Amino acid sequence: MKIIIIGSSGSGKSTLAREIAKKTDYPVLHLDKVFHKYPSDLGRIKLREATKDFISQNENGIIDGNYGSSLSERLPYIDEIVWLKTSRFKTVFRVIKRSILVRLFHKNRSDMAEEFREKWDKDYLEFLNFVWTFPEKEFPQIEQKISEFAVWDKVNILKNRKDKEKYLIKYDRKTKN
C-alpha cells in the first residue's frame, strides 16, 4: 500500500505519517527533509529523484508532503491519498507554535532536513501568508491534478481530529490480524 499525505503546512501531515508508520511499519519519505537539504532548484531535482526511488524501492510506504510540482509523478503509483483540510487558523497557529518550540529548544524536527534553519524574517512572513492562503491558491491545483489522474476514489479527506481517529481505526484492524 502506497499512501501520500497532502495538505497545508501545519495541517498535521508529518504527525499522521508517523502515526500510520507506527501502526504499519511502513517506511516514510518526508519531502521537506529532502527539499530543504538543498538550494531550491537542486532541491526540486533531488525531490523528484528521491520520490521515484522511494516508490520503486518500496512496496508499501508513506510520502508526506505536497510539492505540487511533483504530485503528478506520485499520483499514478499510489493506492491512497490522505488530504488534510485543516482550518487555516489551526494551520497558522501550529506553524507559529512549532517555530517557537524549535527556536526555544534548538531542536530540529525529525521530518525536516538538519540543514534547514528557519529565520523569522520577510521569508517567514511570506511563508505564513502562503499557509494562510493555501486553501484558495493550492486546493484548486491539487483538485485539478487528482481529476487529471482520475483518482478521486482514492482520496480520504480529513478535516479534524475525529476524522483522523476514524481513519486510523483501519490500521488498528490491520495490525491485529
At the topology level of CATH, where does 2-170 sit?
Rossmann fold (3.40.50)
pTM attached to this predicted model: 0.91
List, run by run, the mean pLDDT of 10-residue segments along the chain (177 residues).
Answer: 96 96 96 87 89 96 92 94 97 94 78 76 94 96 95 96 94 65
| Strands 2-7 and 80-84, bridge-based pairing | parallel
pLDDT of residue 169: 93
Domain-wise residue ranges, the chain: 2-170
pLDDT of residue 176: 54
pLDDT of residue 44: 86
Angle, helices 161-176/13-24, rounded to nearest 10 degrees = 20
pLDDT of residue 69: 82
Contact 2, 55 (CB under 8 A): yes
pLDDT of residue 174: 60
